[in-house]
Amino acid sequence: MYPDEFDYYEAGSVGEALDLLNEHSGAEAELLAGGHSLLPAMKTGLSSPDVLIDISGIDAMQGIEADGDTLSIGAMTKYSDLTESDAVAEHAPALAEAVRQVGDVQVRNRGTIGGNLAHADPAADLPGAALASDAALVVEGPDGERSIPADDFFFGMYTPDVGPDELLTRVEVPSADGGVGAYAKKPSPSSGYAMVGVAALLDTDGGTVTSARVGANAPATTSTRT
């Protein structure tokens, strides 16, 4: 199927993207990252935006940086970059394990961490890992930045704490500092999405587990942490 007609804009900066959201506040506007969720929805008629704002090329929203005790990941950083990053494997092992199980090679070469988390699909692989990793999601809007703990970011199915005039710019993960992380899921045979997925991050002292954080995807209407 073919999507309905829409106006397309390519944002070169966060400021330009915010200006475009403000300019088209009276229309149904969607942000385009990797496109793996939005484009199929448009083709099937589940989504019919009047305006499509492409943010995939914003340099300031890409890249991985370890700064002290925090790992900062640009929202437009691709899954493939995450899987190849030693910093992600060291500082965010649960997230690293979850990213490796997203889709297939083609999906991982195009999809982005921000697009995944902002879509807030409880069957996706990354929300549970973000919860287990104590991640904070930074959104920017006309009033500046907000840093939202992952515990408070997912309101429900496809409902993140991102306003219509805001966009997710980066993900900040506290360093696991030698902790052990893992992710396992039972994938749907038809889609590969998680029928249930569990991420865990353990802190250890010698041979003793001192703390454990667990985040789960599906089958509830939102990802949860225990």
Encode pLDDT of 7-63 as tens digits.
Answer: 999 999 999 999 999 999 999 999 999 998 999 999 998 899 999 999 999 999 999
Angle, CA 99 vertex, CA 95 and CA 101 arms, to 5°? 125
- The domain spans of the chain are 59-225
Predicted confidence at residue 143, as pLDDT, reads: 95
The gap from C-alpha 213 to its chain's centroid, in whole angstroms, comes to 19
The whole-angstrom separation of Cα 139 and Cα 120 is 14
CA 75, CA 112: separation in Å to the nearest integer? 7
- Section 185-197 average pLDDT: 90
| Continuous segment of H or E residues that includes residue 51 | strand 51-54
Q: Are strands 29-32 and 51-54 parallel, antiparallel or unpaired?
A: parallel
Any bridge partners for residue 199, and if so which?
Answer: 183, 215
Is pLDDT at 173 greater than 70 in this prediction? Answer: yes
Q: What is the pLDDT of residue 3?
A: 84
d(CA 18, CA 14): 6
Mean pLDDT along residues 158-184: 94
pLDDT, tens digit, 9 for 90 and up, residues 75-116: 999 999 999 999 999 999 999 999 999 988 998 999 999 999
Pick the CATH number of 59-225 from 3.60.20.10, 2.30.140.10, 3.40.50.1100, 3.30.465.10: 3.30.465.10
Q: When comparing pLDDT for 1 and 151, which is higher? A: 151
pLDDT at 153: 97
Question: What percentage of the chain exceeds 90 in pLDDT?
Answer: 77
User: Cα separations (Å) of 131 from 26, 113, 152, 221?
Assistant: 34, 14, 10, 15
Taking residue 198's Cβ as centre, other Cβ atoms within 10 Å add up to 21
pTM: 0.93
The half-sphere exposure of 158 on its side-chain side, counting CA atoms within 13 A, is 5
Which two three-digit tokens encode residue 71?
A: 């790992």
Q: What is the pLDDT of residue 226?
A: 66
CA distance 110 to 114: 12
Task: Give the chain's length.
Answer: 226
